[in-house]
């Protein structure tokens, strides 16, 4: 779910720009999700990909996705620190 008002503001209410931004968002997100979940990805690589997802999602108003990425980063960091 996207925050339509946020996306309108980010794209200056330009329909063509909105389509382009959303297309870039989907393409980048697919790559980042694939790379973050790659079996050989190091913890720092996973954090980098999750952080990129967080920023990408915030830029287009996908705030639930941004929150999920932030939660995943926190959970991963907690697990690596030996926290429950």
Cα–Cα distances (Å) from 23 to 10, 16, 29, 42, 83, in that order, read 14, 11, 10, 28, 38
Number of domains in the chain: 1
pTM of the predicted model as reported, rounded to 2 decimal places: 0.87
Ordered per-residue pLDDT tens for the chain, 84 residues:
899 999 999 999 999 999 999 999 999 999 999 999 999 999 999 999 999 999 999 999 999 999 999 999 998 777 655 544
Q: Give the Cα separation of 74 and 13 in Å (integer).
A: 34
Instruction: State which residues form the domain around 65.
Output: 4-80
């Amino acid at each position: 779910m996207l925050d339509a008002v946020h996306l309108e503001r980010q794209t200056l209410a330009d329909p063509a720009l909105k389509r382009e931004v959303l297309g870039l968002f989907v393409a980048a997100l697919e790559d980042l999700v694939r790379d973050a979940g790659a079996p050989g990805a190091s913890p720092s690589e996973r954090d980098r990909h999750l952080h990129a997802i967080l920023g990408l999602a915030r830029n287009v108003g996908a705030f639930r996705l941004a929150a999920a990425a932030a939660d995943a980063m926190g959970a991963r960091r907690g697990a690596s620190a030996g926290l429950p």
